[in-house]
A and B are shown apart, each in its own frame.
Chain A
Amino acid sequence: MTPTLQIFLIVSAALFSIGLLAALSRRHAIFILIGIEMMLAAANLNFIAFWRFAPKPHQPPVGVMLALFSIAISAAEAAVGLAMVIVAYRHYRTTNVDQLDQLKG
């Protein structure tokens, strides 16, 4: 059996849903970041799959470039997000997002 594009997209959709589950149902800020990273990885998997299954190979390889830039952006997002978690913990002594409910510093 050779995997078709559909199967890759379904695996990627499953990964996205698991990330969504982590982001929506956990109350810990780090878990929410993990879920967001997983959703971004599912999008990257889609980019690469669509690039590989395109009928004519592109010159330059657009899908690969998109995936590379998206990986770089999600790394930057993770760094800033984790710094924000540390700051929130230092201020409120908790990382539970339900308790971070004040706008006042």
Chain B
Amino acid sequence: MNGAAFIVISILTLAAALAAATLRKLMHAALSFAVAFVGIAAFFFLLGAEFVGLALVFIYIGAVAVLIVFTILLTRRDIEKDRGFNWSGVIIAVAVFCGLTWAILKTASLSIVAPHIRALTVKRIGEALMTSYVWPLQCIGLLLTAALIGALVLAMEEKR
């Protein structure tokens, strides 16, 4: 695992995430959201989970980011009104970050380097999905169908 690549990816990801959280223009924030997810997918590649990284790129940048942009365009009249910024949220977020970092740094068993492992191939993931994880997979399929129908029913025009 490469240290320089790690530093570059973490700076990119955190900067893009911070931009997505604080930029005033909604469209810019949505595009920084996409960049932040590119960074998270790069983390997954760095950790050796290539399939999950690709799935993240397809789902988040291909589907969720496009969905967010569509929603922004459909609710456009409202965009310029995002004035309120609640500063108590900043305090809570910083407190949560400090607490988590303190707990992580205090736990000595976490300061380990990655062991050498066999590369995780798509074949192994597919075998696991089709054998020991077949019921969760079916449940996810059911959940996605229900979510699709639910989103359609919600967003459909009401009959007057």
User: Which residues of A come within 8 Å of B, CB atoms?
Assistant: 1-11, 13-28, 30-31, 33-35, 37-38, 41, 44-45, 48-49, 51-55, 57, 60-61, 64-65, 67-69, 71-73, 75-80, 82-87, 89, 93-96, 98
Contacts and interface: CB of A to CB of B under 8 A. Distances in A.
Interface residues of B, number: 89
Contact of A18 (B1, B21, B43, B124): B21
B77 interface: yes
Q: Looking at chain A's contact residues, is the secondary structure mostly helix, strand, loop, or mixed?
A: helix
Q: Looking at chain B's contact residues, is the secondary structure mostly helix, strand, loop, or mixed?
A: helix
Q: What are the nearest 10 A-B pairs in CB distance?
A: A25-B89, A24-B89, A60-B128, A76-B147, A22-B21, A17-B97, A21-B93, A1-B3, A13-B100, A83-B151
Interface in B16-42: 17-18, 20-22, 26, 29-30, 33, 36-37, 40
Contacts of B111: 4-6
A60 B74 CA distance: 43
12 contacts: A4-B110, A11-B43, A15-B14, A19-B21, A26-B86, A31-B82, A37-B33, A52-B114, A79-B148, A82-B68, A86-B154, A95-B75
A81 to B, nearest CB: 9
A77 B144 CA distance: 9
Contact of A53 (B44, B97, B107, B115): B115
B52 A80 contact: no
A27 B86 contact: yes
A73 B141 CA distance: 10
B72 A75 contact: no
Nearest to B6: A3
B122 to A, nearest CB: 11
B117 A75 contact: no
A64 to B, nearest CB: 5
A52 B89 CA distance: 33
Contacts of A83: 150-152, 154-155
Given A6-B111, A34-B68, A86-B75, A61 B124 contact: yes
